[in-house]
Structure 1
Amino acid sequence: MDDIIKDVVKIDDYKVKIVLKKKEAPFLANLAMQFAGIVSPAAVEKFKENFSSNPVGTGPFKFVQWIKDDSIILERNDNYWREKAYLDRLILKVIPEPTARYLALKKGEVDIIDFPSPEDIENIKADKNLKVVEQPGLNVGYLAMNQSKKPFDNKLVRQAISHAINKADIIKAVYGNLGTPAKNPIPPTMWSYNDSIKDYEYNPKLAKELLKKAGYENGFKTTLWAMPVSRPYNPNAKKVAEIMQAQLKEVGITADIVSYEWGTYLDKLDNLQHDMCLIGWTGDNGDPDNFLYVLLSIQSTNKPAQNYAFWKNEKFDSLIRQAKETFDRNKRTELYKEAQVIFHEEAPWVPIAHSIVVEPMKKNVMDFKLSPLGKREFRQVWIQK
């Protein structure tokens, strides 16, 4: 935002004017994101760099306590400016394993759980004391190939890997009925999605031919990094990695699976230490810029990087920059569709899947609604006695 905002001018007690340094079509969408939330200046001054551990905002709940790797406790904010929350208290509990979360729900130890294992969904739906809220997620899970390392700087190698991966097998084994194959870097529910693009077919023979053409007839050795946690876009990265490892082996690529604690994993990805990595994204604001620019622009290769493929394509970058400065949605749509064609040809990722997001809960939890942006909102939630 420092590169975008020139000045913020107070007009009156309830209105400000934001002056930008340049045209920025996604600005209003970005301004609606959580990082732009209104916070207490007094609390910021009091806690300084520790403010994130002692947040004071304007939401329906107030922060009470955070016990690292255990829980966050919130209580209702009776001074909330809108209709007050029904719940007196919220406890956000850390339970790392998906099956352990399910068992805690089944035993009545918790009311709602995030990121269940797809293998548990049918049992949850069959339990008369539980229910499931679900909807298509605004997300994509993908394999990024780091072009700062050989041989991933070779487009033929990236295309070969795209043909070597059998997405149908991965989705069947890991996502079950909760995933659909991905072919673009944005989800099909997002405006400007280019459905005319034909996905790379699973074709090990063609993959071998492309590797031979690239100078790797006998394959090569590399590492495949897998997340240690369940995420909406990838419920079991280790299992995905194991399936990919076997598929790559068929075309002569030997991939050793690597994993780290989640924080360490992200830090190492930010510093582009990986060869290939499994990762993904859930949209923050419903604008394609939040995927295409954030994850694939040249600027996003700067460390800490978010462009984990270290992909620098000038034509793609020019298109998404033009889209940033264009306020006509139809024109932005055409620019983004053209950018997706370049992405497909250059293959910096293997897009794997878009998931259906599911939230299991007790039957007596009422009015919980999923946000497509991955947020969990409890202001209107109540417990039926």
Structure 2
Amino acid sequence: MHFDPFLSGGRRLAFGITFGLGALLATTAYADTVLSVVQAEAPRSMDPGDHTASATGTVLEPMFEGLVKRDESANIVPVLATEWSTDATGTLWTFKLRPGVTFHDGTPFNADAVVYSIQRFLDPARGLAAAGRIKVVIDSIRAVDDLTVEFKLKSPYAGFLELMTTGTPKMVSPTADAAGTLATTPVGTGPFKFTEYKSGEYVLETRNENYWGTPPNVDQLRFTWSGEPSVLAMSVQSGDADVVYPLQPALVPAVQSNPELKLIDSTGSFIYWLSINTQMKPLDDVRVRQALNFATDRQALVAALLRGFGDPANSPLAPSNPFYDAELATYTYDPEKAKALLADAGLPNGFTMTTAVSQRDAPIAAALQGMWSKVGVNLEIRNLESGVWSQVAFADPSGKAADNLGSTIASWSTGAYNPDLQLRPLYATASWSPGGANLGFFSDPHLDELIDQGASELDEAKAKPIYVEAQKLINEQAPHVLLYSKHNLAATSAKVSGVWVAPGGAVNVAWATKSE
């Protein structure tokens, strides 16, 4: 789960430190096969289970592996598991493990290591940041033999295998975790192993010479970061960086016009939206919520804020999701229709409402303020530092009522394709903040039923109409003003190939090639 293009879920905590380009990329003498990656924020933990940020996942992915993963073509493929199966109930999953694999510290990878890696999410005393998505699905796990593990689920869950492809259930060295050093010294089974983390400056990873699979193509990966978009763009333009992400849309022309650079433009899974406080008057009236949607010019937002590198949102699912309903009727920009709905709701002269927005998304709020003023809605904007925004956005109903907060601007992506991981956290009654990301306290019993039905339906063909109905209901009830999905934009040196960006924003660099 991710808020904004730099997160893989959870609460949005941005890093605002800006580094000078020289200090950011200052290095010792490098071998020719070092791949330099500059991204928007520093890693939040070296433990893959104790974060929900896609930028952190980018750093950890080369060092940690799961049982399965999605490849660049979105196929689920074996990694540390060689095969898997489920019983007729869909609640018992068996994985056969790859033999002869060891962790970077020499600890054997086996069934006991898998049980250890998963069990720590089920232990309430651990309190790992990413435990929520695991413990609500998995009831228990046991070692059948040295190379076989068995998962017992709490109920049939169609997205289980998808869940296992995400960055959360990576296998960690039991030795390192038991020593309490995993958060600062990562130990996995991946093609790269940890070398150095200089806080505030860089993370250095070195090729794992004992890797079980095909060895990587470069000797080292070096990750640095800056919250300043111009620094990222300058670093790849100057040749000091081989890969930068994210690239701001305004900087795309400079990359496209430079023959020494390549643009990565891939479909993203982030949906940007304004979450409406459905427990506050007059926003508890569906006509008012629909009016706000008709008062929003999504095409203009995509053109002005994304320079066209995005799609107006007509669904709570992004177009990259296989359950996305492309035929779903969208809210066209119709100020007169918005005015009529407001008048019908007893608000012919409009009303005033507030929104909380992180500084990074302030342009969205400003654009909505201008659009909505045309239908008599006065949008008062609270621009907040990201840490403060997170506290305000995840307040409970009484807290938001006391704060007179009518809405929150945010974005969300699970980084996965299963729609349950996108819909349940944002729209289920049980997901009201602060426990979940239903920031506007929307509740609809029928939608809750649909979400549960879709999650337990193992036949994708039967699940599709359930999720189509769920999308229609969400659009009709309008708990959000859905804004747009944006493309994942990155830039690389023309000498670099094999880099790709997953829909959720994690950059895959472990198998990159760098030519001279």
**TM-score above 0.5:** yes
Deviation at 1:57, TM superposition (A): 1.9
The yes-or-no answer on 1:41 pairing with 2:174 is: yes
Aligned pairs (5 A) from 1:233-312:
237-272=361-396, 273=400, 274-312=405-443
Measure, in 1, the Cα distance between the counterparts of 2:354 and 2:378. Answer: 8
Q: Which amino acid aligns with 1:189?
A: S
Measure, in 1, the Cα distance between the counterparts of 2:222 and 2:444. Answer: 45
Instruction: Describe the shift of the 1:65–1:276 C-alpha distance in structure 2 as closer, same or farther (beyond 3 A).
Output: farther
- The DSSP-based 3-state class of the residue aligned with 1:177 is coil
Match of 1:62 among 193, 217, 224: 193
The yes-or-no answer on 1:5 pairing with 2:134 is: no
Q: Which amino acid aligns with 1:317?
A: D
Instruction: Describe the shift of the 1:150–1:76 C-alpha distance in structure 2 as closer, same or farther (beyond 3 A).
Output: farther
Instruction: Describe the shift of the 1:293–1:125 C-alpha distance in structure 2 as closer, same or farther (beyond 3 A).
Output: same
Q: Which amino acid aligns with 2:418?
A: D
Instruction: Spell out, residue by residue over 1:222-280, the C-alpha distance to the aligned partner (whole angstroms, 9 max, x if none).
Output: 22233334xxxxxxx22222111111111122222223333332333222545322211
Deviation at 1:291, TM superposition (A): 1.0
- The DSSP-based 3-state class of the residue aligned with 2:245 is coil
Aligned pairs (5 A) from 1:1-385:
1-47=134-180, 51-229=182-360, 237-272=361-396, 273=400, 274-385=405-516
Measure, in 2, the Cα distance between the counterparts of 1:335 and 1:79. Answer: 47
Q: Which amino acid aligns with 2:168?
A: F
Pairwise CA RMSD of aligned residues? 1.9
- The DSSP-based 3-state class of the residue aligned with 1:51 is coil
Deviation at 1:120, TM superposition (A): 1.2
Query: Are 1:138 and 1:373, in contact at CA under 8 Å, matched by a contact in 2?
Result: yes
- The DSSP-based 3-state class of the residue aligned with 1:108 is coil
Measure, in 1, the Cα distance between the counterparts of 2:203 and 2:393. Answer: 27
Q: Which amino acid aligns with 2:370?
A: A
Measure, in 2, the Cα distance between the counterparts of 1:307 and 1:287. Answer: 18
- Counterpart of 1:234? none
Measure, in 1, the Cα distance between the counterparts of 2:171 and 2:156. Answer: 24
Measure, in 2, the Cα distance between the counterparts of 1:382 and 1:339. Answer: 43
- The DSSP-based 3-state class of the residue aligned with 1:36 is coil
Q: Which runs of 5+ in 2 are unaligned?
A: 1-133
Measure, in 2, the Cα distance between the counterparts of 1:275 and 1:67. Answer: 42
Instruction: Spell out, residue by residue over 1:69-90, the C-alpha distance to the aligned partner (whole angstroms, 9 max, x if none).
Output: 5433323222332222222222
Measure, in 1, the Cα distance between the counterparts of 2:439 and 2:219. Answer: 42
| Deviation larger for 197-206 or 85-94 | 85-94
Measure, in 2, the Cα distance between the counterparts of 1:292 and 1:354. Answer: 15
Over the matched positions of the two proteins, sequence identity in percent amounts to: 26
Measure, in 2, the Cα distance between the counterparts of 1:202 and 1:309. Answer: 23
Instruction: Spell out, residue by residue over 1:284-336, the C-alpha distance to the aligned partner (whole angstroms, 9 max, x if none).
Output: 22111121112211121142321122211110110110111111111110100
- The DSSP-based 3-state class of the residue aligned with 2:424 is helix
Measure, in 1, the Cα distance between the counterparts of 2:406 and 2:202. Answer: 34
Deviation at 1:67, TM superposition (A): 4.6
- The DSSP-based 3-state class of the residue aligned with 1:333 is helix
Instruction: Describe the shift of the 1:82–1:124 C-alpha distance in structure 2 as closer, same or farther (beyond 3 A).
Output: same
Measure, in 1, the Cα distance between the counterparts of 2:265 and 2:373. Answer: 36
- The DSSP-based 3-state class of the residue aligned with 1:208 is helix
| Deviation larger for 68-77 or 343-352 | 68-77
How many residue pairs get aligned? The number is 376
Q: Which runs of 5+ in 1 are unaligned?
A: 230-236
- The DSSP-based 3-state class of the residue aligned with 1:226 is strand
Instruction: Describe the shift of the 1:270–1:80 C-alpha distance in structure 2 as closer, same or farther (beyond 3 A).
Output: farther
Deviation at 1:68, TM superposition (A): 4.9
Query: Are 2:196 and 2:203, in contact at CA under 8 Å, matched by a contact in 1?
Result: yes
| Deviation larger for 110-119 or 315-324 | 110-119
Instruction: Describe the shift of the 1:74–1:148 C-alpha distance in structure 2 as closer, same or farther (beyond 3 A).
Output: farther
Deviation at 1:152, TM superposition (A): 2.1
| Deviation larger for 276-285 or 359-368 | 276-285
TM-score, with structure 1 as normaliser: 0.92
| Deviation larger for 115-124 or 157-166 | 115-124
Query: Are 2:415 and 2:502, in contact at CA under 8 Å, matched by a contact in 1?
Result: no
- The DSSP-based 3-state class of the residue aligned with 2:325 is coil
| Deviation larger for 214-223 or 333-342 | 214-223
Deviation at 1:7, TM superposition (A): 2.1
Which has the larger helix fraction? Answer: 1
Deviation at 1:30, TM superposition (A): 0.8
Instruction: Describe the shift of the 1:62–1:266 C-alpha distance in structure 2 as closer, same or farther (beyond 3 A).
Output: farther
Measure, in 2, the Cα distance between the counterparts of 1:282 and 1:65. Answer: 30
Instruction: Spell out, residue by residue over 1:328-359, the C-alpha distance to the aligned partner (whole angstroms, 9 max, x if none).
Output: 11111010001111101100112111222221
- The DSSP-based 3-state class of the residue aligned with 1:324 is helix
Measure, in 2, the Cα distance between the counterparts of 1:319 and 1:13. Answer: 40
Q: Which amino acid aligns with 1:59?
A: G
Instruction: Describe the shift of the 1:380–1:314 C-alpha distance in structure 2 as closer, same or farther (beyond 3 A).
Output: same
